[in-house]
A and B are shown apart, each in its own frame.
Chain A
């Protein structure tokens, strides 16, 4: 039973790879031959010529890296403040963030588009990056992880003369490395695969990220499936590799707090 399920999960991936190795002509004839007659890597070369995929790759890399690093920075700073600093309105501010976390991003799509239009940011990298520099979910996840550590760690560091800033970067961040890796990985997956937002705020070919580029490529290429599947494999391959290496952290990232220990 489990094997059948796993096979059904894998079949689309296998089919994608098999198709990508076929010469372009065969798939339009009926019936499709199942296995490629010979390993045919030519599609993987063609896609780089058929569309500016190198550019899409660079855009995706840039957007993914900057949004993820930005989110890490804003979230670590905020989670530290909520965990170890005393200030007026701490609980109500955190509760407010928890409420905001429940707002579906889809509701904010149009007003955010208007805001960006007023900033004259439509069709810029800023539109792809700046609204995503914050993740409340990441703040909450990190805050929960920081809270789980004994508070004496903070007191000991402060008594030894470390400033808050030093404690944050030399003790708190290194000791929470697993959960930071987990939230980073989740965010990388989200940014790399984001589609609707980049589709809406950019229509300039040079700003396309990989999913948007892949979709545009489909429209332009029509039904040249071997070529299309080769492009698809290229889009998903980096993340699958990353996932296979870091999968134990991913599980850590998506579990609710009370199950992590």
Chain B
């Protein structure tokens, strides 16, 4: 009973415990994973009869030549490149501040975390109302400072910026919690020792806190990047079911949704899903690789 050797009998028993998990995982994760790659190769596909007439690279060529897909890639990259660093830096800043006065931390943490529990659709709708040209809060406030009103949601020049604001606002709380946990984990004695050696606050941060926080920073950078690559709900709610003026806020996920659900081009949509997967996987690996390289370098210096 208590020895560590598996037998066929114990394997069958374990499988009974695992059966519900395995059955659903095979049907709704393993099979669709395979099918996603298969479908991306179907060039003549009848969804209603589930009949495949031809396979090939056609869908990827279609994507390669589709200016709308280029736009979706560009928007997603731009969104991530602006929102990710901004969210990470701001949340590190706030978490560092919260970590230094503990009695306030609980209260502020509750507030900063509210967007995380709030439905993204609800968030999008509220920001739609805030961004509105007539009667919107933001233009009202800008008016006090003498700026002319901007039509955030209908001007293609500003529509992506509006989405960025929403994503930063929504993403801060989660990162703050993670950074706070990372900061709490760091032994206070390191900073105390550095202080004794005459390091000022900035030196203590750059030479003690930052290197020790690096594993958490890597995690947060990867998580934030992935979150921003998957943006869909925010766009849908912010523009009331469209991708913004002139597709200004068309993200990769929105492109997939549109090809799949609106235009019924299942195979092309599946192909865009595969491209999305490769991009996300590649970026994750690159980020981990880069930070590991840096950590090794910093480790040598310390």
Contact = CB atoms under 8 A, between A and B. Distances in A.
A215 B28 CA distance: 27
Given A77-B18, A81-B17, A86 B257 contact: no
Given A80-B17, A107-B32, 4 more contacts: A9-B114, A100-B33, A107-B36, A256-B219
A110 B17 contact: no
Interface string B279-290: 011001000000
Contacts of B120: 193, 195, 211
Contact of A254 (B47, B108, B177, B261): B177
Interface centre among B2, B29, B281 (most CB of A within 10 A): B29
A2 B98 contact: yes
Interface size class of B (residues with CB under 8 A): 35 or more
B232 interface: yes
Contacts of A218: 125, 237, 240-241
A222 B240 CA distance: 9
A74 B117 contact: no
Interface of B: 1-2, 4-8, 10-11, 13-15, 17-18, 20-21, 24-25, 27-33, 35-36, 39, 47, 50, 90, 93-94, 97-98, 104, 108, 110-123, 125-127, 129-130, 134-135, 137, 140, 169, 172-174, 177-178, 181-182, 184-185, 219, 226, 230, 232-233, 236-237, 240-241, 253, 256-257, 260-261, 266, 269-270, 273-274, 276-277, 280-281, 284
26 contacts: A9-B112, A9-B115, A9-B169, A12-B130, A27-B135, A29-B135, A74-B24, A78-B18, A85-B17, A107-B36, A107-B273, A107-B277, A108-B29, A109-B256, A110-B270, A111-B39, A113-B260, A164-B13, A195-B119, A200-B261, A211-B120, A214-B122, A215-B236, A219-B240, A235-B122, A240-B114
A8 B28 contact: no
Interface residues of A, number: 90
B129 A228 contact: yes
A210 B29 CA distance: 26
A150 interface: no
B139 to A, nearest CB: 10
A90 to B, nearest CB: 7
For the complex of A and B, list the 9 residue pairs with the smallest distance between their C-beta atoms, beginning with the closest.
A111-B32, A111-B35, A87-B14, A81-B17, A87-B11, A86-B6, A85-B14, A193-B119, A78-B21
A66 to B, nearest CB: 13
A9 B27 contact: no
Contacts of A88: 6, 8, 11
B284 to A, nearest CB: 8
A86 B253 contact: no
B169 A74 contact: no
Contacts of A75: 21
Contacts of B47: 114, 117
Interface of A: 1-2, 5-6, 8-13, 15-16, 19, 27-32, 73-75, 77-78, 80-81, 85-90, 93, 97, 100, 102-104, 106-115, 117-118, 130-131, 133-134, 136, 139, 155, 158-159, 164, 189, 192-193, 195-196, 200, 210-211, 214-215, 218-219, 225, 228-229, 232, 235-236, 239-240, 242-244, 247, 250-251, 254-256, 259
A75 B270 CA distance: 29
Contacts of A133: 20, 24
Contacts of B277: 103-104, 107
A134 B25 contact: yes
Contacts of A12: 123, 126-127, 130, 169
Contacts of A87: 6, 10-11, 13-15
A256 B182 CA distance: 10
A29 B173 CA distance: 35
A254 B178 contact: yes
B280 A134 contact: no
Given A13-B114, A80-B17, A110-B270, A259 B182 contact: yes
A134 B27 CA distance: 11
A10 B122 CA distance: 14
Given A108-B28, A108-B33, A158-B1, A215 B121 contact: yes
A15 B251 CA distance: 28
A247 B110 contact: yes
Contacts of B260: 109-110, 113, 200
